Amino acid sequence: MSSISLPESSRYLDRGLSYGLVGLTFLLCFNTFNHISEYLFLTLVAFGLLKIYREKSLSLIPTSLNVPILIFLGWILLTLPFALDPAYSFGEWRKTLTRFLIFFFVLLVVRTQSQAKAILHAFVLGLGLLCLVEVIDFFRIGGDPFSMNIRAGSFFGAHQWLSNYLIMGVPFLWLSWVSQENAWEKGMNYFACAVYPFALFLVHTRSAWLVVLVQFGVFVLYKVTGKFLLSVGIAFLGVVLVIMTLNLSGEFRNLLSKNDFSSTATLEFRFNTWEMALQDIQGSPIVGAGYGKHTFQKIHPAISPTQHTHIHNMFLGTAVQLGLPGMFFLLILFFKILSSSASWLENSLSPDSFNSQFGMAIGLMTLGLIVRNCFDDMFQGTIVYLFLLFVAMGFCLHGRQVRYGSSWNH
């Protein structure tokens, strides 16, 4: 029997890694399968290392995120000796390291637009199925569409997870719709777009509704101004004005409290919790109290009933855990992604090309997660995997491959 040549085996590995990434994207749409997704990803990483070893070379796409990611992960390590619970914080760092690894893995695997489209289709199909199941389950457990007592999202985790999937999903639903070519793509998009609005309403998460409105507003502003970062800045200013109005105007809050959907009670809980978080930051502004979402509970084991057990703000939470430098490094990551999206849009030869529209989708997704997580801290688990997967794909579509070690044997 003839042995398989090195180029042929490399092609098999490339194909397996590409198909594996498509399957992983689909699984990541369901938070319940997070452990299965992680095991699949680590298996793909092992095969990726095998590919590098067999080819004796490493193909990388230089990106503006490589150094900021390493600095952020390194800062977490540096703060571990000062953590309230170093063992817990180290465990959380290991999880984060694995999640960020997907960024570099995608840079290794994705090379063509057809690969990006296959991954996009897997996500749209997974999102559509997620929405369908959650809508059906909402009515199965007796949910009332006009009451916030029950929220869609409990079948595959919780409404917080579903709301983040919906925020990430809307830009890519648009991208899939405008780039569809075949009949089966149209059918898949019709299905996903038909169930998405029901899931978005029944999740009964007002910050998710706000975010989708902000994403749409930025999209329209960009079409008018042609400046993506300017459009994002105007949107952020609008969100800040809304928060200030709710925080300062007691009369306005009393008016809103008369309706279940507009009640500001949960927002007032957040304001109380954020005040505590600011005090914690003042107590340890440089290294924080330790990495991990549950650090806040370790600081305040007996918290007041008028406050949340979690900070419900990703950036304040990061500042409490990692100090102000940690929050700064996280902000740099998001700013780099937004600026890269703006650069891809400005430098695109055709604003209607798939690559340009993919850059727009990444920018809107990033903006959505930033605004959503100003009211929560759900930049965790499968959300991080999916987010960094799509961001890395943006760099793959717009970057140039650099090959290292092509003569390692010499």
State how far the Cα of 142 lies from the Cα of 75, in Å rounded to an integer. Answer: 46
Answer whether residue 410 is part of any domain: no
The per-residue pLDDT for 2 is 44
On whether residue 118 sits in a domain, the answer given is yes
The two structure tokens encoding residue 160: 């917080």
Sorted by sequence, the CB contacts under 8 Å of residue 80 that are 6+ apart come out as: 86, 89, 90, 93, 290, 291
409 in a domain, yes or no? no
CB 108 within 8 A of CB 402: no
280 within some domain? yes
- Structural domain boundaries, residue 75: 8-404
pTM listed for this prediction? 0.93
Low-confidence stretches of the chain (pLDDT beneath 70): 1-7, 246-264, 306, 400-410
The pLDDT value given to residue 91: 97
CA 410, CA 406: separation in Å to the nearest integer? 9
Domain assignment present for 3:
no
If you write DSSP's letter for every residue of 176-231 in order, what string do you get?
HHHT--SHHHHHHHHHHHHHHHHHHHHT--HHHHHHHHHHHHHHHHHHHHS-HHHH
Count of structural domains, the chain: 1
Type of residue numbered 47: F
Residue 2 lies in a domain: no
In whole angstroms, give the CA distance from residue 352 to residue 359: 11
In a domain, 117, yes or no: yes
Query: Looking at residue 408, what is its pLDDT?
Result: 33
Question: Quick check: is 112 in a domain?
Answer: yes
